Amino acid sequence: METTYKYSRVLIKLSGETLKGAQEHGYDSEAVRAVVERIKQVVYAGVEVALVVGAGNIWRGVMGKAGGMDRVNADYMGMLATVMNAMCLKDFFTAVGISAEVQSAIAMEPLAKRFNRAEAVKALESGKVVIFAGGTGSPFFTTDTTAALRALETDCEAVLKATKVNGVYSSDPFKNPDAVRFDTLSFDEALARQLAVMDSTAFSLCRDNDLAVIVFDFFEPDSLEKVLRGDLSAGTLIN
C-alpha cells in the first residue's frame, strides 16, 4: 500500500546531542546510524528532506561565555562544530546510499559548499538530503533559528523539531506526571502559556511567516513517518 504524506518537503532540526548516543561528547556511530536510518525511510518514500544540525554534542557558545570567553568567538566555535556534525551525517548518509550535500553559511571550501538557495532547492528536488551547516553564519543565534530561516528560504512546508518527547506539554512531563500533551497549538496559545517550543527568535520567525512547527519524539519508532502523514499522536503541530 502506498503511503500518503501530508508534507512533501520538510526541514528536520536535530540537536547535536542526537549524535552522541550515551556518550558525554562527540559521536556514537550507532546513534548517528540510527538517525540516518530513520531519515532514509522517508527519503526513499519521496519526501524531500533538508536538515539543520546543532552542536550541543561538541560545543555551545554559552559554554565559552561561562568560562570567560568572548561570546562572539565562542559562538563561531559553535558554528564550526555544526559543520563537523554535518560532515559526519553526510558520511553516514552516503554509506547507506543516500546522496547528501552540506551547504555552509560560512565559506569553507573544500569541506562544504557555501549556502546557495537555488542550488539547495535544486538538490532537494533531485532527492538529495541537504544539510545546512554553520548556523546562520552570525553569533547570538541558535540552530533553531537557522532551521526556521533555511526552511523559509527553501520553501519547506514545516520545521520538524526532533526531541526526546512526543510533543509539547503543559509542563515538563519528566517532572510533572499530570502534564497535559497538546496535539495542536496556535503560536499565540504557545506564547500565552509560555510553552518552550523553540527559542524566541526562531519562534517569532515561524509565527510571523506562518511556518508550521512540529515537535516530536525522533526516537519513537515510526514517529517521523507518522508526523509526515499528519498523525498528531506522534507530535504537536504548532501553526
Retrieve residue 226's grid coordinates.
507518522
Q: Give the nearer residue to ligand UDP in terms of CB position, either 79 or 86.
A: 79
Question: Could you tell me if 20 and 4 are in contact, meaning their C-beta atoms sit under 8 angstroms apart?
Answer: no
Question: Could you tell me if 7 and 47 are in contact, meaning their C-beta atoms sit under 8 angstroms apart?
Answer: yes
Please calculate the CA angle 139-141-147 and round it to the nearest 5 degrees.
130
Retrieve residue 79's grid coordinates.
558554528
Q: Give the nearer residue to ligand UDP in terms of CB position, either 16 or 232.
A: 16
Q: Give the nearer residue to ligand UDP in terms of CB position, either 116 or 233.
A: 116
143 binds ligand UDP (CB under 6 A): yes
141 binds ligand UDP (CB under 6 A): yes
Q: Give the nearer residue to ligand UDP in terms of CB position, either 20 or 232.
A: 20
CA–CA separation, 198 vs 65, rounded Å? 21
The CA–CA distances, whole Å, from 211 to 6, 41, 88, 188 equal 15, 24, 28, 13
- Which residue minimizes CB distance to ligand UDP? 54
104 binds ligand UDP (CB under 6 A): no
CA–CA separation, 148 vs 140, rounded Å? 15
Binding mask 60-99 for ligand UDP (x = CB under 6 A): xx-------------x--xx--x-----------------
Shortest distance, CB of residue 85 to ligand UDP, whole angstroms? 8
16 binds ligand UDP (CB under 6 A): yes
Q: Judged by CB under 6 A, which of 136, 166, 223, 236 binds ligand UDP?
A: 136
Q: Which amino acid belongs to residue 48?
A: E
| CB neighbours of residue 35 within 10 Å | 24
Binding mask 36-55 for ligand UDP (x = CB under 6 A): ------------------xx
Q: Give the nearer residue to ligand UDP in terms of CB position, either 153 or 231.
A: 153
Binding residues for ligand UDP, total number by CB under 6 A: 22
Question: Could you tell me if 188 and 210 are in contact, meaning their C-beta atoms sit under 8 angstroms apart?
Answer: no
138 binds ligand UDP (CB under 6 A): yes
Q: Which amino acid belongs to residue 71?
A: R
103 binds ligand UDP (CB under 6 A): no
E runs forming strands in 91-128: 100-104, 113-114
Q: Which residues contact ligand UDP (rule: CB under 6 A)? A: 15-17, 54-56, 60-61, 75, 78-79, 82, 135-136, 138-139, 141-146
